[in-house]
Amino acid sequence: MPKSQLTPEILTAALEGFEAQKKRLQDKVAELKAMLSGESKKPAASPLPAKRTRTMSAAARKLISAAQKQRWANLKKTSEAPSKPVASAPIKKKRTLSAAGKRAIAEAAKKRWAKVKAAQQAAKPAPAPKAAPKKAAAKKAAVKAPAKQAKKSVGKKAAAPAPPAVEATPAQ
């Protein structure tokens, strides 16, 4: 890396800057020491004078009020120049919707919603098909059928007893 060229002018300017910074720090240290020892060093007076409240005499207020009233009166005179009465626009009657119109709107809304629902149904995946009933369920149904017939025949006169249910045995 090339060395920086420190000229005497640069070094002199840096020295002056550091000395000014040293002076400011010494002033701050002295101020803090004075605060610790109990001496109150008042800050320098601000360049702006303290604010005074202004009071206005009653006569001055009356003059200002009269002048303002005169300005308003002049403004109102110029704005009231047209002497012809201005015709106001006729008042429009409030429009109402007929029963047929309401029906048409309701039907259109129903059609729109039907389309939306149909689109949603089309977007859903179809449910999986149900599995075929098992053989055990078929056996239970065969056993229950004769029992139901026996119950129905109880109320009748002399009905022949139902034949006993025969269980199917698997072929060997």
Most confident residue range from 79-83, 95-99, 165-169: 95-99
Determine the pLDDT at residue 106: 97
Position 23 in a domain: yes
pLDDT in tens, 42-68: 555 556 667 778 889 999 999 999 999
Position 172 in a domain: no
Position 121 in a domain: no
For the cut 70, the answer to whether the pLDDT of residue 24 exceeds it is yes
Position 115 in a domain: no
The mean pLDDT of the chain is 78
Determine the pLDDT at residue 150: 54
What average pLDDT does the segment 14-35 reach?
A: 93
What average pLDDT does the segment 61-82 reach?
A: 88
Nearest to 43 by CA among 31, 61, 26, 30: 31
Nearest to 150 by CA among 140, 134, 139, 163: 163
Non-local CB neighbours of 163 within 8 Å, separated by 6+ positions: 146
The values of phi and psi at residue 67, to 5°, are: -65, -40
Position 20 in a domain: yes
The parent domain of residue 19 ranges over: 13-39
Report the alpha-carbon distance of residue 27 to residue 25 in Å, rounded. Answer: 5
What average pLDDT does the segment 135-144 reach?
A: 63
Give the confidence band of 93 by pLDDT, cuts at 50, 70, 90. Answer: confident
Give the confidence band of 1 by pLDDT, cuts at 50, 70, 90. Answer: very low
| H/E segment holding residue 147 | helix 135-154
Position 88 in a domain: no
Proportion of the chain above pLDDT 90, given as a percent: 37
What average pLDDT does the segment 111-137 reach?
A: 80
Q: What is Dmax (Cα atoms) for the chain?
A: 140
What average pLDDT does the segment 30-51 reach?
A: 73
What average pLDDT does the segment 125-149 reach?
A: 64
Give the confidence band of 98 by pLDDT, cuts at 50, 70, 90. Answer: very high
What's the structural domain count of the chain? 1
Position 26 in a domain: yes
Position 140 in a domain: no
